[in-house]
Amino acid sequence: MSLAAGAAGGRLGAQTTAPVTLASHVADVNGDGTLGIGDAGVMEQALFTSRGFGIEPNTGFDPRADVFGRGVIGQDAVDAVSRLLATSAVPSRPVRRPITVGWHYGWYDQIRRPLLQQTVRYLGGDYLSNDPVVEAEFNRLKNEFGITVDALSWIPRRLTPTILPNFRAGYFAAANAATRYVALLYEAVLALPTVGGRVDFHSAKVRSTLLQDFAAMAQTLVEARDRYPTRVFLLDGRPVVFIFASHAWGLNPDDAREFDKMTTVVAEGLEAFRRVYGEFPYLVGDELLPLASTSTASPDRLSRGALFDAIYAYHAANLKTTAAPFGLDESYGALQRLRLERATEAVRGLESRFTNQKVLIIPSLAGGFAKHGLPTLSATRQAFANYLKLLTRHHEEVYLPQEWPGALGTAALPAPIYSVGSWNEEYEGHAVFPAQFNLALTESEQQGFDFSMALKEAFGWNHYAERDIR
């Protein structure tokens, strides 16, 4: 049987002609954490099958074997896994799969969204965030395409009354919720009072609001841990909370008193969280872009960065300085790698003010936006795949060995960690779920699966759906 025959009914991408060396976690197709004979068996069983373009794969297709992210299992895929198994130093070589974090939003209350607020459209049609059937479908797809952790967009009920009830009725009630890890994404600049888009920590209202929100976020994670089948994502034994736009904290970079106040308020917030959850949160600040602008960080940025256990960027592009559409090409990838290098230099030696542990960099793999009124990042499936591999290679071959030697495999860093961007943020356009259209996608080669299949090519399927992160 030929590959063409096996792929009949739809072509999901260009075929690979030259031999490819797979990452070990991609070749661990049975997901048991080792490379061994079981992986070869999965590949042989899946040979010459194809996925199809529907949300549900074709009957008989095993997504685990799709090591090239093409939706087609050819002889070259089987051979690629076999080559890696043959070169393993021991019959069963341990594998450490990266941990991937995707933003998951719960504010979809209407079947039909306003025209300019939907810049991608889910392949299965519009959906509601309180629908557990749709959320179960999302979970299955995220496991297939390699997204491990859902950072739930958290906005307090005083601002958006439906979001937390939507999560309870939809996400947490999904039949396969037990396959998912949960973190939170605190929408700080929406939740906290602001002055001109910035948060004034001299304000008593900011202090009381932050303490209230930290306690309420802890309660959400208590429910994720104790009431629902989901698992809470832990680093260093603490539940992980990402903060959106923490770089907007502080009115005046030269006001040392405000930064002292900020430290006090955040410390009180950590304690408010601990009283509810039982552990302090592992805070990840949205600081990577400001720190990446130069290899010498300003004192205010370092003061703010020291409030967190780790730093990340919600997305890689700095749209305020980009006047026109831009492409996700080799030069753009090189720019983002340079930013990671600069950030590494800028935070070298920086420790968390509260733990005295080194601040970890979590790279953002979300290339940028496709949003009305802002410059559009245009990309193809292969350009996105190349971009993912470029940044992950730098992180795992340069940053982690140099800055975190011996840390991989510990509670503080069980595996390399990446933010892969949004799963279902339609308004901003960089969602990676299978979509009917996406303004950032120049030309679809895989009928809306382009970005999700690129993630699959880089990371393989989500092993942690079936085994714990350790």
pLDDT tens digits for range 157-215: 999 999 999 999 999 999 999 999 999 999 999 999 999 999 999 999 999 999 999 99
Distances (CA, A) of 207 to 193, 220, 287: 10, 20, 21
pLDDT for 7 equals 35
Domains, the chain, ordered by start: 3-94 (no CATH), 99-465 (3.20.20.80)
247 within 8 A of 199, measured Cβ to Cβ:
no
pLDDT beyond 80 at 107? yes
150 within 8 A of 174, measured Cβ to Cβ:
no
Measured CA to CA, the distance from residue 221 to residue 202 in angstroms comes to 29
Q: Which residues contact 92 (CB under 8 A, 6 or more apart)?
A: 34, 35, 36
Of residues 170 and 290, more confidence is placed in: 170
Instruction: Dump pLDDT digits (tens) for 347-376.
Output: 999 999 999 999 999 999 988 888 887 778
Measured CA to CA, the distance from residue 407 to residue 401 in angstroms comes to 9
Return the amino acid letter for 271: E
**What is the reported pTM?**
0.94
pLDDT beyond 90 at 281? yes
Distances (CA, A) of 293 to 52, 101, 340, 417: 43, 24, 10, 22
Instruction: Dump pLDDT digits (tens) for 216-232.
Output: 999 999 999 999 999 99
Instruction: Dump pLDDT digits (tens) for 319-350.
Output: 555 556 778 889 989 989 999 999 999 999 99
Instruction: Dump pLDDT digits (tens) for 27-37.
Output: 999 999 999 99
What share of the chain has pLDDT > 70, as a percent?
Answer: 93
Q: What is the mean pLDDT of the chain?
A: 91
pLDDT for 2 equals 29
> Which tokens is 96 given?
């450490």
3-state secondary structure of 133: helix
pLDDT beyond 90 at 17? no
> For residue 69, which of 80, 85, 83 has the smallest C-alpha distance?
80
**What does DSSP say about strands 417-422 and 149-154: parallel, antiparallel, or unpaired?**
unpaired
